[in-house]
A and B are shown apart, each in its own frame.
Chain A
Amino acid sequence: MIIHTRITRDPLDPRAILQQVERPSVGAAVLFVGLVRDLNEGRPVSGLRYEAYAPMAEKLLREIAEAAAARVPAERGVPGVAIEHRVGELAVGDASVVIAFASPHRAEAFDGCRYLIEEIKARLPIWKEEQYADGRTEWLDGAAPPQG
Chain B
Amino acid sequence: MDTIRVRLLLFAHYRDLAGTGERTIELPRGSTARQLVDRVRADGGGWARLPAAPAIALNEAFAPLAATLSDGDEVALLPPVAGG
A55 to B60, CA, bound (A): 7
| A: contact size bracket | 20 to 34
Residues of B within 8 A of A123 (CB): 62, 81
Which one of B12, B60, B61, B83 lies within 8 Å of A120 (CB-CB)?
B83
Q: Are B67 and A85 in contact (CB under 8 A)?
A: no
Any chain B CB within 8 A of the CB of A22?
Answer: no
Interface bits A89-129 vs B (CB < 8 Å: 1, else 0): 00000001100000000000000000001001111111111
Q: Are B64 and A147 in contact (CB under 8 A)?
A: yes
Q: Are B83 and A128 in contact (CB under 8 A)?
A: yes
Any chain B CB within 8 A of the CB of A134?
Answer: no
Residues of A within 8 A of B62 (CB): 123, 145-148
Interface bits A44-55 vs B (CB < 8 Å: 1, else 0): 000000111101
Given known A-B contacts A97-B84, A144-B55, A139 and B60 have beta carbons under 8 A apart: no
Interface bits B46-84 vs A (CB < 8 Å: 1, else 0): 000000010111001111111100000000101111111
Name the prevailing secondary structure of the A interface residues: mixed
Q: Are A145 and B84 in contact (CB under 8 A)?
A: no
Q: Are A51 and B81 in contact (CB under 8 A)?
A: no
Any chain B CB within 8 A of the CB of A59?
Answer: yes
Q: Are B81 and A127 in contact (CB under 8 A)?
A: yes
Rank and list the top 9 A-B pairs by shortest CB-CB distance, nearest first: A142-B82, A148-B64, A126-B83, A127-B12, A142-B80, A56-B60, A128-B82, A139-B13, A124-B83
User: Could you give 13 example pairs across A and B, Cβ below 8 Å?
Assistant: A51-B12, A53-B60, A56-B60, A57-B83, A125-B83, A126-B82, A139-B16, A142-B81, A145-B55, A145-B81, A147-B62, A148-B62, A148-B64
